[in-house]
Structure 1
Amino acid sequence: MVDFTSPTPTPEEQERDREIGRVLFSGEFNFVFGAQKLGQLPDPLLPEIAFAGRSNVGKSSLINALTGRRALARASSQPGRTKQLNFFELADRLTLVDMPGYGFAKAAKDVKDDWQGMMFSYLRGRPTLRRVVLLLDSRVELKESDGEIMKLLDRAAVTFQVVLTKCDVPKPNALAAKLRAVSEVVATHAAAFPEVLATSSQTGMGIEVLRAELARLANPARAGM
């Protein structure tokens, strides 16, 4: 269900949320399961945040940066290496889902179609899925596959938030222009969360803000704070 009615947090609330996010993401974090078929999905017990993006956009690196771990999610220079939904449980409060990369050029058409069918079924039918973090490479132009995924998320009625990766590379003016351009595209999609975040797994840019945003979606009953 897409709902953007929550008021904008005050500066004090933002600082509080960043600290909550820091504590949450420094907690115990474990790989749970890798599902290659819908029938293999683990039971939906905790709120889930799914990470999607084109192959080699930096999904695994961002997850590692969020959790302060170097190799929890496997990063690879080979596009399309992740072929399954990888579930990671965070402090018994939140599940992060590393989705297979889309748009890798060498994949056969039937493999791409199969990916889209499986992912759409997961996105549409997962009751605990709170948000999809859609990663876009800040260094390159939007691809047709990015637009297709946004439309797929609109059809699935799943809230998604665009997060730019590798934002330490573009110069400030270029990054600002990229943020404006992407925000204009995001505004045309019904399921899109309005705020676009800029991040870098190398420098830590935007990591605290993203942690805070995701922590607000975690299970409060198990917060322990």
Structure 2
Amino acid sequence: MIDAATAAAGGLAEARTDEERAALLEAGRLLFARPCRFFHAAQQLDGLPPATAPEVAFCGRSNVGKSSLVNALTGQNALARVSRTPGRTRQLNFFDLGEGRLTLVDMPGYGYAKASRSVKEDWQDMMFDFLRGRATLRRVLLLLDARIETKANDRQAMRLLNDAAVAFQIVLTKADDTKPAQLARRREEVEALARGHTAGHPLVLATSAETGEGVPELRAEIAAFALPAAA
């Protein structure tokens, strides 16, 4: 199982000085200035691409803003498809970042009310098997909407990640549509939730795909897992 030290390893939470923090932010900027391209989609586990580069996955409820955040991180407006129909994405989408340095994985959204029970169960089974069996998966970014309370299936996702021994970090989305006091309370709430799981990362980031809030910090967190740049 993952211990607390492993879950918190690297990234901004470990920065001790302003210089270290600045270096991490610059590493994130440089990585995401490199090309990012879609290269594979898988609807079944036997269709997964070879596990080569380190992977960071994005997970969250349907319509939480995963695709918008991926687009904001990479600076490409149409890299990840933004759907107005919740629950449409039913596959794992893989993106190569930095020409082989890191793979971003966009996971199907969960919690879509209109999905049948069998679809939800199959979905969860596939996600658990992927999380548990993917040796190159370094972290899952669990996206929660900053404007609303944590839902039961968000808590279920945390338990699933914890049971699969996969380090996860909570990222709040749509922070631009949240008043400062409300955002502060929401951050405190999810920080407490993260501390309640061995695999939970202590640093919660608030982001906005619209304004760019928190995007440099999230880039820095992700860049900590990338392979070194070629000389």
| TM-score normalised per structure 1 | 0.97
CA distance in 1, matches of 2:127, 2:189: 27
Q: 1:87 aligns with which of 70, 82, 94?
A: 94
Structure 1 match to 2:134: 126
CA distance in 2, matches of 1:31, 1:205: 25
Runs of 4+ more than 2 Å apart: 4-7
CA distance in 1, matches of 2:195, 2:224: 22
Shift of 1:5: 5.1
CA distance in 2, matches of 1:179, 1:139: 11
Q: Partner of 2:219: helix, strand, or coil?
A: helix
Q: Does 1:97 align with 2:105?
A: yes
Q: 1:140 aligns with which of 139, 148, 159?
A: 148
Q: 1:8 aligns with which of 14, 25, 28?
A: 14
Q: Partner of 1:168: helix, strand, or coil?
A: helix
Where do residues 1-225 of structure 1 align in structure 2 (5 Å cutoff)?
A: 2=2, 3=6, 4=8, 8-9=14-15, 10-91=17-98, 92-220=100-228, 223-224=229-230
Q: What letter is aligned with 1:69?
A: Q
What do you get for the CA RMSD once the two structures are aligned?
1.1
Structure 2 unaligned residues grouped into runs of 5+: none
CA distance in 1, matches of 2:89, 2:161: 20
Structure 1 unaligned residues grouped into runs of 5+: none
Cα distance 1:59–1:117, how it changes in 2: closer, same or farther (>3 A)?
Answer: same
CA distance in 2, matches of 1:26, 1:80: 30
| TM-score normalised per structure 2 | 0.94
CA distance in 2, matches of 1:35, 1:79: 19
Structure number with greater CO (CA < 8 Å, separation at least 6) is 2
